[in-house]
Structure 1
Amino acid sequence: MPGGTHDDPELAAERAYLTDARAALRRMREHAEAQSADTAADWVSRQFLESLLDERVAALADRPDAPLFFGRMDGAPGPGVPGTLYIGRRHVHDGAEGRPLVLDWRAPVARAFYQAGPGDPLGWTRRRRFGFQGGALTAFEDEPLDGRALGPSAILTAEIERPRTGPMRDIVATIQPEQDALVRADLTVTVCVQGAPGTGKTAVGLHRAAYLLFAHRERLARSGVLIVGPNRAFLAYIAAVLPALGEVSVEQATVDDLLGAPAAAEDAATAALKGDARMADVLRRALWLHVRKPEDGLLVTRGVNRYRLADHEVREIAAALRGTVRYGNGRAMFAQRLAHQILVRMERRGEAPDDRVQDQVARSRPVKELLDRVWPKVTPEQVLYRLLSDADFLADAARGALDPAEQAALLWTKPYRSHRSAKWTRADRALLDELADLTERTPSLGHLVADEAQDLSPMQLRALGRRCANGSATVLGDLAQGTTPWSARSWKEVLEHLGQDGEVAELATGFRVPGTVLDFAARLLPHVAPGLAAPRSLRAGAGALAVRRVPDLAAAVARAAAEALERPGSVALIAPDAAVAGHAAALAAAGIARGVLGPDGAPDGTDARLLVVPATVAKGLEYDHVIVAEPAAIAAAEERGLARLYVVLTRAVSTLTVLHTGGLPAALAGRDVDAGGPGS
């Protein structure tokens, strides 16, 4: 039952408990700040210890707008477990007695807060949820776990529907049982989440990273955790989630950050071909075509003695290594094996050479000259430059993998002067990364979280897979939101390209997007992802959708923006990329403050509550009130424009207003929904 009137003594007691917990957290932080790294034995150890202490102090920060605890469990399930547990974002204890005041939501015993229910209370008798406003405890709500069926939690519903401004928040207070099961999956398991809009798949990935760092702190502190997002705007949006959970050392990056930013653009068909998994075989052959068949033997002079290897012996050594090791390692091993055979001949003459002599022979001029002739040192840029500029070389490397038309499509029409002057595209960057790994092994992380993974090409997925080859991954996305020409059609293919055996789970129940909005956007599903069932929403969303045909788009946008700004929460005007500047200027002329969201996730220097968002930047973001201008133009702007439009239409948390001057895309055909404006 909801509780907590202003003079409720039980609510007063909970507020007092919160005050005590905050005081304890402050003492924990002060204790951490008082620690010194001066006791370290050397400068390196001191720097490392200082870094750890800084992270500890940052993790103990008390965010006044984030409740220290959000739930409570009563009725201990067994001996050794306190009868009452407060569940929060981090562990807080009483320094004097060591008594836990707040339990970290990731602790094993805290799992009951998310999983216990009337059917299986897990030994507990009651769950209490707390309502907060601006960090102040305002209410509580009790749920008996005795089998009685209760209605939906008002506090839980209010938290899910609460207007959001600024970056994404954590969802520790609202994690659902099916989400919790994914969050707490074992570190060794790669989890793939197919999530419809508003189902919380991104939050699941971030909270899974936080959980794994809690459960496997020492191991992941060594190997690392990486979050990979689709663009800088997305990373800026999610940047505050992990620090709010006490995790301040997790790296976040885009694919361009990992592989290198593109210096040139290319047409979609060529990019899709370069992103095809067949290119892995083409690149491997191209690299190993640089190893030539030895035509002569090796003669090494040591003092007055001469030692010779016959040409067939050199060929045997090269053949034994060719293609069985990485190219760079093979070159070094080839030199060492040649040197070893010279040492064998020295020993046969009664000499006693050691490893130092072998290294000297491996670095000698005759060996180096033979090495350069047979196994030349090449860079990934040199190999790819030759592949894209030399038709005969490409034909040799692509034989059996690409047909002549595909080979012709890959060749540069105007080759660069050299590999140093070449301007590499985004697709080229993934090919260079593949070649780099064929030359020297790519280091592996302990865990990688890849969001919007459906938009990555097979070659980009291979690049990410190398970075978790000895670890695991959390793969997040929605096949219906694939907007690239190479977008995945199945998660099985994605996992294969990653090199991971994963479990695919589907989140189909939306918590954030209103039902009317989701149903409208779902009209596009048969055209963009026919294999997916239409998502459902827990929120009916009556009155949340307005679709209007208007005679003057600029005036209608200004009017809709002004109306949205009268309501609480964030506001976004999402428009075709080419129309963003015009809409921003029109809003300014109408006296409406607005920012323009750039690809780096930062507005153009303003702090306006209304943002003009290019359609191609909207993925992964959400706003309370969304205005979509001219959906047909968004759909027509690119090959998978209907998928882009599906993304755009599902960014709204509270209301969606769709404005168009011409017709809607055929896939959205149907009567307009009039919410007070002119209908069609």
Structure 2
Amino acid sequence: MASTAFLSTDRHRHLAPLRACSSTAPRVASTADAPVAAAVPGPDAGREGARESVARSLVALASVGHHVFRDPRPPRDRRHHAALVLVGPGGVFLLDVAEDLQVEGDQVLHGDRDVTDDVLALADVAYRAEGELVEVGLAPGEVRPVVVVTDARGVDRRIGPVRLVGEADLLRHVASYGSRLPAVEVELVLARLREMLPDLVPVVLELPEVPTPHDGRTHPSTLDVDEALVAGAAARPVESWMAVLDPAQAALVRRSFNGPCRIRGGAGTGKTLVGLHRAAYLARSRPGTVLVTSLVQTLPDVLRHQLAALAPDVADRVQLVCVQEWARRLLAARGVRVAVDESIARIAFDDAFAALAPDNPLHVPDCGPGYWRVEISKVIKGRGITDLAGYLDIARTGRRYPMSRDQRAALWELYRAYERRLGALGVHDADDLVLMAADELRRRPLDVPYSAVIVDEVQDLTAAGVRLLHGLVGDVRDGLTLIGDVQQAVYPGGWTLADVGVSVAGRGVVLTTNYRNTAQILDLAHRVVAGDEVTDLDGGVVSGERPEQVRRNGAEPVLERCGSRREQHVAMIARARTVARDAGTAGVAVLCATNGAAVHAADALRAAGLSVLLLTDYDGTQVAAVKVGTIKRAKGLEFSHVLLPDVCAELLERGDPPAGAADRERWELQRRELHSAITRARDGLWLGVA
């Protein structure tokens, strides 16, 4: 344990120079770099007076649980450290004090002198502090470097990870973060800081005085302490799980990988939360925009809402959008016509299949038209296969029916007939979006590349989709982060990392502790998929596994057997009313296997007088309504109580799998989907068993 770890002169290794925004090279400093103290020009006496003025102002926040410390060393003796440290419910603020700074574009000037690098040195201090404080689970984004511009009001600028704030605005700036850390976490941070920096001196807790200008000038205005505290009280509270992580998770957020990396783990292990924190961290530490994407349409909307609370300082530099919508926007921006209509596309496929001769090899008892339509979607289009030779030779990962070469040739002809019908109708299917976007990017890459791409629920994307996203950043350091768990795949078919040209050798991390579910809920989820085998992204075979550690206990899931849909809806409504009365409707969700079943459930709940919000309209905002939607729409989300109507009894029983290969594939897929639905529940689970 280094007692002065973040006083080192080491620079933030992932902080790119602001004047080289097209580069992702790390910022490297020599030992000759000016110390942080140089970021504050002026006589030492004046700077010390400014520091004392700011310190006296900050103690006003003691009434809401903040603690203020100063470093006793004079400015000329300080190397890379903060003049003041503020710790409290709003996080950790590392502050230095400056005067007469001007910001022009991405430069900070003091008179004619460019002091940008001196200001950014405070980011290096914060980086070192982050590394120490992750040991107590503090999320890296909760350490905030701030340069206070003395005798100024209305200053609020960001230079890389560093905020420049006017002295008269400082209290309101700190208070605007509201309450993010629980008292127990504040105490852990304070204890760790005392170990790291035993020389820090607490500022005496006294009533704040009106700051006296250290140079005798008239202060622009007094700090409105009451206004700042009121603003802090009104700030939207941030749930502690956003700001406080497991130390292993907090360290993973900051971890650097020399190329693409993969984060995997069972349901409830915090993969999505780590990905969101990592997006904010990368947005702070490098220029450019970070893309966070997923196949799930609802997830980016919910994450966008969470990011606005978790990291408002970089929310404008993280783009959250599902893969297909991203492709649609690209094509629209490039003037490429696209007309996706899945209902017409289905008719086109059905017509093409109906035109097959009676003796066609695709007419087999085990596989109906739906199986072959998925084959085209997930294997031919999903892999981006462009000729019969490529299809004949490819390994059909995730598909159990063993196709002969004659069947593959016949399927290829069916695919071509389907494509001709789509062309004649002037429509595309959803898979065409990704393929057309990839073609467009090959023709002309993005004018402004992304600095990083984070893919959540990666196991549900097609190989073509992952290949497209990988192409946006390539194999640069920390460019691509893949997050997911193949045991939660809810779409047929599959692929391996080798298929998409991505290597994560030596750059894979497994999260093994479940923080979301109770042990009782997780036991049921595990029983559903226990023993089922699925091909992992690395090509190996994994079976249903339970996380190594489960942190919570609770009530046993309720399984209610019903003889009819009406009986089941009556039981579902009674359960929804019970849990809503105990915990409120905002955390209750009803998840169904199909859109039709979700519509029926929503209608039944509304008829019973309950407020309903469809997952298609859900963006993460806490609304007093029961959320209703499909299991696929709920991927990556979580709710206090989950109700699952229309659960097939056979999926809960450990019986022999179906004999037919295609039937077994569907059976395993349904079990994984049920497993995913069960693990959306934090505290309570109800299953209506048909």
TM-score, length-normalised on structure 2?
A: 0.55
Equivalent residues of 1:565, 1:571 under 8 A apart:
yes
Amino acid in structure 2 at the alignment position of 1:258: W
- State whether structure 2 residue 687 is matched by structure 1 residue 658: yes
Partners of 1:69 and 1:498 in 2: CA distance:
51
- State whether structure 2 residue 509 is matched by structure 1 residue 480: no
For 1:324-403, what aligned pairs fall within 5 Å after superposition?
Answer: 403=408
Residue in structure 1 matched with residue 179 of structure 2 by the alignment? 135
Residue in structure 2 matched with residue 543 of structure 1 by the alignment? 555
Q: Summarize deviations over 1:225-245 as a string: whole Å, max 9, x none.
A: 111122331112111233231
3-state DSSP class of the match of 1:467? helix
| Residue 595 to residue 486, structure 1, CA distance change in 2 (3 Å) | same
- State whether structure 2 residue 627 is matched by structure 1 residue 623: no
Partners of 1:279 and 1:628 in 2: CA distance:
30
Equivalent residues of 2:85, 2:93 under 8 A apart:
no
- State whether structure 2 residue 543 is matched by structure 1 residue 531: yes
Deviates more, 1:179-188 or 1:627-636: 627-636
Residue in structure 2 matched with residue 256 of structure 1 by the alignment? 324
Partners of 1:68 and 1:268 in 2: CA distance:
61
3-state DSSP class of the match of 1:654? strand
Residue in structure 2 matched with residue 332 of structure 1 by the alignment? none
Query: How much has 1:209 moved relative to structure 2?
Result: 1.2
- State whether structure 2 residue 135 is matched by structure 1 residue 115: yes
Residue in structure 2 matched with residue 564 of structure 1 by the alignment? 579
Equivalent residues of 2:380, 2:391 under 8 A apart:
no
Partners of 1:456 and 1:449 in 2: CA distance:
13
Residue in structure 2 matched with residue 510 of structure 1 by the alignment? 514
Residue in structure 2 matched with residue 594 of structure 1 by the alignment? 612
Equivalent residues of 1:572, 1:627 under 8 A apart:
yes
3-state DSSP class of the match of 2:543? coil
Residue in structure 2 matched with residue 324 of structure 1 by the alignment? none
Partners of 2:258 and 2:181 in 1: CA distance:
39
| Residue 138 to residue 169, structure 1, CA distance change in 2 (3 Å) | closer
Partners of 2:632 and 2:606 in 1: CA distance:
22
Aligned length: 441
For 1:53-202, what aligned pairs fall within 5 Å after superposition?
Answer: 81=81, 86=87, 91=93, 93=95, 107-115=127-135, 135=179, 139-140=183-184, 142-143=187-188, 171-186=241-256, 188-202=258-272
Partners of 1:399 and 1:521 in 2: CA distance:
37
| Residue 523 to residue 188, structure 1, CA distance change in 2 (3 Å) | same
Partners of 1:238 and 1:179 in 2: CA distance:
18
Equivalent residues of 1:226, 1:448 under 8 A apart:
yes
| Residue 184 to residue 633, structure 1, CA distance change in 2 (3 Å) | same
| Residue 461 to residue 96, structure 1, CA distance change in 2 (3 Å) | closer
Amino acid in structure 1 at the alignment position of 2:613: G
Q: Summarize deviations over 1:497-551 as a string: whole Å, max 9, x none.
A: 1534451111121111111101110112322644353124533423152223245
| Residue 396 to residue 114, structure 1, CA distance change in 2 (3 Å) | closer
Residue in structure 2 matched with residue 269 of structure 1 by the alignment? 372
Partners of 2:600 and 2:684 in 1: CA distance:
23
Note the aligned Cα RMSD (angstroms): 4.5
Partners of 2:124 and 2:622 in 1: CA distance:
37
Query: How much has 1:433 moved relative to structure 2?
Result: 3.4
Equivalent residues of 1:516, 1:544 under 8 A apart:
yes
- State whether structure 2 residue 290 is matched by structure 1 residue 225: yes
| Residue 634 to residue 84, structure 1, CA distance change in 2 (3 Å) | farther
Give the alignment partner of residue 628 of structure 2, picking from 592, 612, 616.
612
Amino acid in structure 2 at the alignment position of 1:247: V
Query: How much has 1:71 moved relative to structure 2?
Result: 10
| Residue 527 to residue 470, structure 1, CA distance change in 2 (3 Å) | closer
| Residue 657 to residue 528, structure 1, CA distance change in 2 (3 Å) | farther
Query: How much has 1:484 moved relative to structure 2?
Result: 1.0
**Please, which runs of 5 or more residues in structure 2 have no aligned partner?**
1-62, 73-77, 102-118, 138-176, 196-235, 329-338, 347-369, 395-404, 535-541, 652-662
| Residue 395 to residue 581, structure 1, CA distance change in 2 (3 Å) | closer
Query: How much has 1:86 moved relative to structure 2?
Result: 2.5
Query: How much has 1:581 moved relative to structure 2?
Result: 2.0
Partners of 1:647 and 1:105 in 2: CA distance:
42
3-state DSSP class of the match of 2:672? helix
Partners of 1:628 and 1:252 in 2: CA distance:
29
Give the number of the structure whose alpha-carbon radius of gyration is greater: 1
Query: How much has 1:256 moved relative to structure 2?
Result: 0.9
Equivalent residues of 2:588, 2:639 under 8 A apart:
yes
- State whether structure 2 residue 303 is matched by structure 1 residue 238: yes
Residue in structure 2 matched with residue 340 of structure 1 by the alignment? none
- State whether structure 2 residue 290 is matched by structure 1 residue 206: no
| Residue 463 to residue 602, structure 1, CA distance change in 2 (3 Å) | same
Q: Summarize deviations over 1:103-160 as a string: whole Å, max 9, x none.
A: 999733122122269xxxxxxxxxxxxxxx98398844645679x9xxxxxxxxxxxx
Give the alignment partner of residue 568 of structure 2, picking from 550, 553, 572.
553
| Residue 398 to residue 137, structure 1, CA distance change in 2 (3 Å) | closer
TM-score, length-normalised on structure 1?
A: 0.56
- State whether structure 2 residue 671 is matched by structure 1 residue 646: no
Amino acid in structure 2 at the alignment position of 1:648: A
Partners of 1:70 and 1:646 in 2: CA distance:
43
Q: Summarize deviations over 1:22-49 as a string: whole Å, max 9, x none.
A: xxxxxxxxxxxxxxxxxxxxxxxxxxxx
Equivalent residues of 1:574, 1:618 under 8 A apart:
yes
Equivalent residues of 1:277, 1:458 under 8 A apart:
no
Equivalent residues of 1:595, 1:606 under 8 A apart:
no
Residue in structure 2 matched with residue 336 of structure 1 by the alignment? none
Residue in structure 2 matched with residue 215 of structure 1 by the alignment? 285
Equivalent residues of 2:519, 2:552 under 8 A apart:
yes
3-state DSSP class of the match of 1:518? helix
Q: Summarize deviations over 1:453-489 as a string: whole Å, max 9, x none.
A: 001111121111112226411111111110111235x
**Please, which runs of 5 or more residues in structure 1 have no aligned partner?**
1-66, 118-132, 149-165, 284-393, 663-680
Query: How much has 1:94 moved relative to structure 2?
Result: 7.3
Partners of 1:568 and 1:103 in 2: CA distance:
42
Q: Summarize deviations over 1:603-646 as a string: whole Å, max 9, x none.
A: 9x995421222222111111111111122189699662111111
Equivalent residues of 1:73, 1:113 under 8 A apart:
no
Residue in structure 1 matched with residue 215 of structure 2 by the alignment? none
| Residue 501 to residue 138, structure 1, CA distance change in 2 (3 Å) | closer
Q: Summarize deviations over 1:189-221 as a string: whole Å, max 9, x none.
A: 4221112111110111111111112222xxx32
Partners of 1:458 and 1:533 in 2: CA distance:
25
Residue in structure 1 matched with residue 53 of structure 2 by the alignment? none
Amino acid in structure 1 at the alignment position of 2:515: F
3-state DSSP class of the match of 1:259? helix
Amino acid in structure 2 at the alignment position of 1:543: A
| Residue 457 to residue 211, structure 1, CA distance change in 2 (3 Å) | same
Deviates more, 1:86-95 or 1:529-538: 86-95
Give the alignment partner of residue 497 of structure 1, picking from 497, 500, 516.
500
Partners of 2:237 and 2:261 in 1: CA distance:
25
